Amino acid sequence: MTFPLDDLLTVETLIAVVVAVVAGISRGFTGFGSSLIMAPVYALIYGPVVTVATVLLLEVAVSVDSFTRVAKIIPWRIMIPMWIMAWLAIPLGMWILFIADAEILRRAISAIVAVLAVLLMIGWRYHGPHRLITNLCVGTMSGALNASTSLGGPPLIFYLLSGPSTTAAARAGMISNVFIVSIPTVSYLVLSGALDSFALWRTAALFPFFLAATQIGNRMFHASGEKTYRSASSWLLLVVAVGTFFA
């Protein structure tokens, strides 16, 4: 199949590119946020199932480079139990994706994310250790939400940023989580036909913009301090939560 250039030259595609650039800068700077930004807008344009597949495919593709950059500082002891449970929770998330009321699910998640963002903004921190049982619970939540909405990041973001981890380690954990957890979900969605050939071409067209934007965000992170990082992450969560709730 030839590249469908004429079909891609639409207002919807232009909006998708702009959103991908903003999401990519967020992804590069904070280690998360791209799905939180892309999913609500893309869902209005393409529908929930295609949106989840598109967003996760972009995330996995760009994470190959990001994962290798942060591998040395990933908090492996915390992340491995999370990943195991996240993978096991994928069938639950897929079931929710295909049977749940998308409007109710979106608003419920937005409300939860807003509460978590406010807690981070007021400086709430958990100073105890990350225990195995909490690692497993957060992993289950993240995996189910990732498969059903592509918004599996908020539970993990709050868990890592509110705990004793450094910002560099927390960011590395979030980057690696997107890569590891999304692979089986996006593989299933692509193989099940959630993305047809045109949707795959559209995703491929968005990828260069998304990748370039993540590089910009990555440079911004290395030029900033811990306080700036935590503040930006908290505000991003709150803005996206409010925007998706009222969308």
- For all residues of the chain together, what is the average pLDDT? 83
Neighbours of 40 (CB within 10 A): 21
Residue that wins the pLDDT comparison between 152 and 231: 231
Short-list 240, 196, 246, CA closest to 30: 240
**Three-state secondary structure call for residue 221:** helix
| CA gap 153, 173 in Å, rounded | 11
Q: Residue with structure tokens 């999304």?
A: 182
Number of domains in the chain: 1
Q: For residue 216, is pLDDT > 90?
A: yes
What is the per-residue pLDDT across 112-133, written as a single tens digit (0 to 9) for each? 778 878 877 887 776 677 889 9
HSE, CB side, 13 Å, CA atoms: give it for residue 9.
4
Task: Provide the token pair at 114.
Answer: 């807003």
pLDDT tens digits along 151-176? 777 788 888 887 777 888 888 888 88
Please enumerate, as own/partner, the contacts of 73-76 that have beta carbons within 8 Å and a separation of 24 or more: 73/168, 73/169, 73/172, 74/169, 74/172, 74/173, 74/176, 75/130, 75/160, 75/165, 75/169, 75/172, 75/173
For the stretch 27-76, pLDDT in tens is 888 887 787 788 878 888 888 778 878 888 898 888 887 888 888 899 99
Location of structure tokens 């280690």: 31
Residue 19 has what pLDDT?
A: 92
H-state helical runs in the chain? 5-8, 11-30, 34-46, 48-70, 76-88, 90-99, 102-121, 132-149, 153-161, 167-191, 197-222, 226-246
**What's the confidence (pLDDT) of residue 83?**
92
Does this model's pTM top 0.75? My answer is no
The pLDDT, as a whole number, for residue 247 is: 66
Domain of residue 54 covers 5-246
The Cα–Cα gap between 160 and 153 comes to 11
The pLDDT of residue 1 is: 55
Sign of CA dihedral 101, 106, 107, 112: positive
Query: Rg of the chain over CA atoms, in angstroms?
Result: 17
